[in-house]
Structure 1
Amino acid sequence: MGVVFMTDRGKVRQHNEDSGGVFVNRYGQSLAVVADGMGGHRAGDVASSLAIKELKQYWEESEKLSSPDVASRWMKEKITQVNQHLFQYSQEHEECRGMGTTVVMAVCTDSFCTVGNIGDSRCYILNENGFSQLTEDHSLVNELVKSGQISREDAEHHPRKNILMRALGTEERVYVDIKTIEIEAEDQLLLCSDGLSNKVSTEQLKETLASSLTLEEKAASLIQQANDSGGEDNITLVIVDFTNGSG
C-alpha cells in the first residue's frame, strides 16, 4: 500500500486551518484522515489539529480491526470521544467558542476499507468501475440538491456553499456517516478538503489519479491545479494506493 499526505495554505488564506495525516497501528493497518477546521480567530486550526492529534493517538493504541463491523464500531466510538473533547474545549476557551472541523477518514486494510465523514471533506475512489464519490456532503447546498430545490450545477456556485449542516465539535452529539467497501489491487482512494474539490473538477481529479505519475507527483499536481484555479482556500489531501496490499 502506498500513501501520500499533502497540505497547502493556498494563495489567499493567512493560516492553514486544515490538518491530516496517515497513521499506522501496530498491526500495519493504516488510518487516513483529513480535517478542515472552522471558527473565528484561528480557532479552526485548533479544532482540526486537536481532532487529528487525538485520532492519531487512538489509532496507534488500537487493536487489530479484523472486520468492517469492528472498524465501524471503532470509528463511531472514537469520533464520539473526539467530539466531546472538542466541544468541551470550546466551552472552556472563550476564543474557541463555536469552533469545529470537518473530518473524513478511512481505515485501510488489504481486503476492506471503512470510510467515515462529517461535513464536506470528501472521499473518492478510483477503481475498475471508474471514479466516484464515496461520501455525501453534510452541507446546506447538498440538502437543497437532494430536495430538488436547486440543481447540482447551481450548487457548484451557490453563495451559501460553505454552510455545513454537521461538523465535529460544534454540538454535544454528532453522527458520523460510515460505509465499507471491498478493496481490489490497484484501487486508489482520494481524501480531501473542499479547498481541492471546489477548485478541481471531478474529471481532472480522475485524470490525475489515473495518470502514470508517482503518488507524490499526483498530490503535488492536484494542489497546483487548485492553486491555479484561485487557491482561495487551504488544500489538503491523502492518496491511498492499494497496489501492494497491506495489513
Structure 2
Amino acid sequence: MTLEFFTATDVGRARDNNEDSVALDESVGLAVLADGMGGYNAGEVASQMLTSFIKAELGRWLKESGTGVATADVRRAMDICVDNANRAIFNAANTNPRYAGMGTTLVLGVFRDEGLLLGHVGDSRAYRLRGSQFSQITRDHSLLQEQLDAGLLTPEEAVYSSNKNLVTRAVGVEDAVMLELHLHEIQPGDVFLFCSDGLSDMLEDDAMRQLLLNNPSLPEAAQALIDNANEMGGRDNIALVLARAEGRVKAESRSWWPFGKRGG
C-alpha cells in the first residue's frame, strides 16, 4: 500500500497573518497540523514551533527506529515529543512578554502498517472518507463539545453558540498537556483530512464530503475545500492535510514504503 499526501494553508478572508502551520515527513508517514492562538504574532510562533519541533524530533526518532518498532513505543514517542514541545512553547510564552498566553491546537498522525496513530489536542480535527462515508474521528477539546456531551445544547443550537472557539485543552498554555491518542484502521481507498477550524467552522461535514468525492485529485480537493470555505466567509486561517491510502498490501510483505510523493 502507498500513501499520497497533500498539504495547503490559506490566510482566509478576514485575517492578515496566518497562525496555522502544517508539516510532513512522507518518508516515515508523519503529518502534523497546528492552529495557533495568542496576541500579536504569538499564535503564529506557537504553531510553527510545534510543527517544526515534532517534524524534527519525532521524524528523526521514527527514521532511527525503523518500520519494525512496536506500536506501543511509537505511542510513547508521540507522547514524549508533544510533552517536550509543550514545555518549549510554555517556557517561551513565560520568558518573552510578546508571547504571553500563546498556545496552539494539534493534530498529529503517524501512518503505519497497523493503522493510523492519531493524536490531537484542542479543536482542530481529523476526518476519514471511506467509500461515501465521511466521519469525524477526533472529538473536540472545547467548551462547546462539553456542552453537547452534557445535553445542554442540541447540535442545531451549537451552530449558533458563542462558545464555538473556546478550547479546553491546548499545547503550550500550561506546563503539561494530555495528548488524546487512538489507533485507526486504514483500508485501501481511505482519504484522511486533518484541518483547522478555519475549514470545519465554514463548511458542514456533508459539504466537505461532497467536495472530496467530486475531486479525486488531492490538490484539486484541497483547493476546492479552501475556495468553498472562503466563499462561505473565510473568517479564519485555513490549514489542511490530505492523505490517501492506495493499493493493496502484498501477501509477501507488509511494508508500505516508499510513501507517495506530496503534491504542491
1:244, CA displacement in angstroms?
Answer: 4.1
Residue 162 of structure 2 corresponds to residue 159 of structure 1: yes
- Give 1:189-228 correspondences, 5 Å limit: 189-228=192-231
Counterpart in 2 of 1:61? 60
TM-score when scaled to structure 2? Answer: 0.89
* CA deviation vs aligned residue, 1:87-122 (integer Å, no higher than 9, x gap): 011111111111000001110124311000000000
Matches within 5 A, 1:56-205: 56-62=55-61, 63-64=65-66, 66-128=69-131, 130-205=133-208
Counterparts of 1:110 and 1:187 in 2: how far apart (Å)?
Answer: 14
- Whole-angstrom distance in 2 between the partners of 1:96 and 1:107: 29
- Give CA deviations for 1:13-61 in whole Å, capped at 9, x if unaligned: 010000012213xxx3211111000001110000000001101101331
Q: Residue type matched to 1:198 in 2?
A: D
**2:252 matched residue in structure 1:** none
How far off its partner does 1:67 sit? 3.8
Contact (CA 8 Å) 2:58, 2:81: kept in 1 or not? no
> Which one of 1, 5, 8 corresponds to residue 6 of structure 1?
8
Contact 1:68 1:112 in 2 (8 A): no
Structure 1, unpaired ranges of 5+: none
Q: Extract structure 1 runs of 4+ deviating beyond 6 A.
A: none
Question: Whole-Å Cα distance in 1 between the matches of residues 20 and 131 of structure 2?
Answer: 31
Larger Rg: 2
Equivalent pairs, count = 244
CA distance in 1, matches of 2:216, 2:128: 17
Whole-Å Cα distance in 1 between the matches of residues 244 and 13 of structure 2? Answer: 28
Tell me the residue number matched to 1:47.
46
Indicate the residue corresponding to 2:33 in structure 1: 34
Structure 2 residues without counterparts, runs of 5 or longer: 249-255, 258-264
Give the aligned CA root-mean-square deviation in angstroms.
1.4
Choose the corresponding residue for 1:237, options 219, 236, 240. Answer: 240
Following TM superposition, by how much is the alpha carbon of 1:212 offset from its aligned partner in structure 2, in angstroms?
4.4
Is the 2:37–2:46 contact (alpha carbons within 8 Å) kept by the matching residues of 1? yes
Whole-angstrom distance in 2 between the partners of 1:105 and 1:116:
5
Amino acid at match of 2:141: H
Deviations 1:163-221 (A, max 9, x none): 11000000011101100011111111000000000011100111122234311000000
Measure the CA separation in 2 of the matches of 1:212 and 1:103: 26
TM-score using structure 1 length: 0.95
